[in-house]
Chains A and B, each alone.
Chain A
Amino acid sequence: MEVLARTLDVTRRYGPVTALDRVALDVRAGELIGFLGPNGAGKTTLVQLLAGLRRPTSGSVELFGGDPRDPARRRRLGTTPQETGLPATLRVSEVVDLAAAHFADPVPTRELVARFGLAGLERRQTGGLSGGQRRRLAVAVAFVGRPDLVLLDEPTVGLDVEARHALWDAVRAFHAGGGTVVLTSHHLDEVEALAERVVVIDEGRVRVDGTLAEVRSQVPARRVRLRAAELPELAGVDRRSSHGDRHELWTADSDALVRGLVTARVPFRDLEVAAASLEEAFLALTSPGVTTAPSTVTKGSR
């Protein structure tokens, strides 16, 4: 499959701070990739490198086969301003028109505005929009040039649930039409809902790069909850937290664990077995030490 963007052994430092540490990554046509990581993990720096906003300290970045700092390489790229950084005095239609002017075959302003639920607001200055409307406009401009690849840095920050879902639909529709998407998020449910491939970044390094299922398989897949006055050491428990008689156990094999509980004649009740969420996967991956179970984790550390 065609590689649209690529980082080769990229390191980026800001003075003494290493934001990215030897990151190697391919973005192939048709993928929907989620960069997941806590704040300051290096996600934004990675997106900025792909968009040509920053230079790597070492290594190289390719976008559509060339240097992303060359404007011609960005013709098939769509990005969104971070936060709600729109010029406050410009009108909605002016912001879209300005972005559209840079592309050979832009989406008509009226159509784009309608697609992102901003119809009727064209004459409004962006400073007079609600936070959610501004955010939608910021995401909308990423799609104005009919791009092949869009980079969405924290696209739904500050949106309510309904607006978030509307935006997810727009992203899914773009992807269904053959578009490639890279989005960053620390909303775990967002990545879980949208991404097919998950890249977990922490402290400037790629911790995991794989499909949603693969990321799940790298971490305890099942969470077992139960109540019991006392719990013996059990085989196959990756992580455990206990509060009084309530226990949460993470394991790769919940069947074996339950059999173990029965065999050990533990007088448990309220047994609950569930698939671990990506959030748990994420926590396990980005907080080294927590996974080196069996250990007791207090409530505060979650």
Chain B
Amino acid sequence: MSTPTTARLVGIHARYQFTETVRIPIAVIGTTIFPSLSLLFFVVPQPFAHDPAAATAAAAQLAVFAVMSVCLFTYGVGVAEDRALPWDAYLRTLPVGPVPRLVGRLLNGLAFVVLGLVPLVLIAGLLTAATLPPARLAATAVALLAAGVPLFALGISIGYALSTKAALAVAQSLLLPLAFGGGLFLPPDTFPAWLDAISTWLPTRAGRDLVVSATTGASLPGSTLLVLAGWTLLGGSLAVWAYRRDEGRRFR
């Protein structure tokens, strides 16, 4: 018999991580249901819910928010929690590099993003004027992925660099500024000029603009892709650095 392939190990780690998580369903419900609830309470009753462009943009913004909360909590806090467990140290002594576990984790996060997006899309489609023609579906999925990459890197950096308590604090204090500042709750055209100027440089704003553009066909600011690429590079370097210096728990 031969040594297991990376692809097989990716599948195994993804499956076990998923199993581990869904056996405590409440942990999943928190991050997956919040975007749908926000849509239900803050968008559906508003007059602009009847305007297709505005409603679609609002749903797109919340979709980015769903991606971000999975990145910050599943990846950020989740990784920090795992690192504190002796089981994680055990897994790192197995003859396997970081790739299968990391990719497994990525796939898991994606699964939870999808779980969160399904009710969001249903509510948007049934209770608002939002529309997503099938032709735009693929572009939207790609845009969501692209928006998620820098946030994923940021989450991984937090998870590997910080202890559980610190990771939770950092994730929580990043969540709302990134969400509001990036225009995920209120559309950026309601922003004062100074906030809009700051917002342009945030990864969430770039992600939001990309996804809104993919869903509604709105024009894309020239800075968007540059900002996303910049944050991806920065977050990626930070994540690699944090992963390399990680040795699990700090003492003993």
Q: Chain B residues near A33 (CB, 8 Å)?
A: none
Contact B89 A72 (CB under 8 A): no
| A58 shortest CB reach to chain B, Å | 16
Tell me, yes or no, whether B95 is within 8 Å of chain A by CB: yes
Contact B19 A90 (CB under 8 A): yes
B13 and chain A: residue at smallest CB distance: A98
Tell me, yes or no, whether A104 is within 8 Å of chain B by CB: yes
| A20 shortest CB reach to chain B, Å | 12
Contact A85 B90 (CB under 8 A): yes
Tell me, yes or no, whether B96 is within 8 Å of chain A by CB: yes
Q: Chain B residues near A89 (CB, 8 Å)?
A: 19-20, 23-24
| A204 shortest CB reach to chain B, Å | 12
Cα A118 to Cα B248 with chains together (Å): 29
A interface bracket (residues with beta carbon within 8 Å of B): 35 or more
| A292 shortest CB reach to chain B, Å | 31
Tell me, yes or no, whether B219 is within 8 Å of chain A by CB: no
Stretch in B4-12, B191-199, B224-232 touching the partner? B4-12
Q: Chain B residues near A48 (CB, 8 Å)?
A: 89, 247
| B83 shortest CB reach to chain A, Å | 11
Q: Chain B residues near A83 (CB, 8 Å)?
A: 86
Tell me, yes or no, whether A181 is within 8 Å of chain B by CB: no
Tell me, yes or no, whether B223 is within 8 Å of chain A by CB: no
Per DSSP, are chain B's interface residues mostly helix, strand or loop, or mixed? loop
Contact A75 B95 (CB under 8 A): yes
**CB-contact partner of B95 in A71, A82, A90, under 8 A:** A71
Per DSSP, are chain A's interface residues mostly helix, strand or loop, or mixed? loop
Q: Mark A74-86, 1 if CB is under 8 A from B, else 0.
A: 1101011111011
Q: Mark A40-69, 1 if CB is under 8 A from B, else 0.
A: 100011001001111100000000000000
Q: Chain A residues near B135 (CB, 8 Å)?
A: none
Contact B95 A74 (CB under 8 A): yes
Which residues 4-52 of A have a CB within 8 angstroms of B?
14, 19, 40, 44-45, 48, 51-52
With contacts A54-B247, A98-B16, A103-B4 known, is A86 near B87, CB below 8 A?
Answer: yes
**CB-contact partner of A53 in B19, B23, B95, B247, under 8 A:** B247
Tell me, yes or no, whether A158 is within 8 Å of chain B by CB: no
Q: Which of A45, A104, A151 has the most CB of B within 10 A?
A: A104
Tell me, yes or no, whether A102 is within 8 Å of chain B by CB: yes
Q: Chain B residues near A82 (CB, 8 Å)?
A: 86, 89-90
Q: Chain B residues near A52 (CB, 8 Å)?
A: 92-93
Tell me, yes or no, whether B94 is within 8 Å of chain A by CB: yes
Cα A48 to Cα B93 with chains together (Å): 9
Q: Chain B residues near A101 (CB, 8 Å)?
A: 4, 8-9, 12
Tell me, yes or no, whether B173 is within 8 Å of chain A by CB: no
Tell me, yes or no, whether A279 is within 8 Å of chain B by CB: no
| A56 shortest CB reach to chain B, Å | 11
Q: Which of A51, A81, A94, A101 has the most CB of B within 10 A?
A: A101
Which residues 74-117 of B have a CB within 8 angstroms of A?
85-87, 89-90, 92-97
Cα A82 to Cα B84 with chains together (Å): 12
Q: Chain A residues near B96 (CB, 8 Å)?
A: 71, 102
Tell me, yes or no, whether B251 is within 8 Å of chain A by CB: yes
Which residues 226-257 of A have a CB within 8 angstroms of B?
none
Contact A90 B92 (CB under 8 A): no
| B104 shortest CB reach to chain A, Å | 11
A91 and chain B: residue at smallest CB distance: B19
Q: Chain B residues near A86 (CB, 8 Å)?
A: 87
| A240 shortest CB reach to chain B, Å | 36
Q: Chain A residues near B95 (CB, 8 Å)?
A: 71-75, 77, 102-103, 145
Contact A44 B252 (CB under 8 A): yes
Tell me, yes or no, whether A105 is within 8 Å of chain B by CB: yes
Contact A53 B92 (CB under 8 A): yes
| B100 shortest CB reach to chain A, Å | 9
Contact A53 B9 (CB under 8 A): no
* 16 pairs from A and B in contact (CB 8 Å cutoff): A48-B89, A48-B247, A51-B93, A53-B247, A79-B93, A80-B90, A81-B90, A83-B86, A85-B85, A85-B90, A87-B85, A89-B20, A89-B23, A98-B12, A101-B12, A145-B95
Please report B residues at the A interface, Cβ cutoff 8 Å.
Answer: 1-4, 8-9, 12, 16, 19-20, 23-24, 85-87, 89-90, 92-97, 247-248, 250-252
Can you name 18 extra interface pairs (CB under 8 A) apart from A53-B248, A73-B95, A81-B86?
A14-B250, A53-B92, A71-B94, A72-B95, A74-B93, A75-B95, A85-B87, A87-B20, A89-B19, A101-B4, A102-B4, A102-B94, A102-B95, A102-B96, A104-B2, A104-B3, A125-B23, A151-B93
Please report A residues at the B interface, Cβ cutoff 8 Å.
Answer: 14, 19, 40, 44-45, 48, 51-55, 71-75, 77, 79-83, 85-87, 89-90, 94, 98-99, 101-105, 125, 141, 145, 151
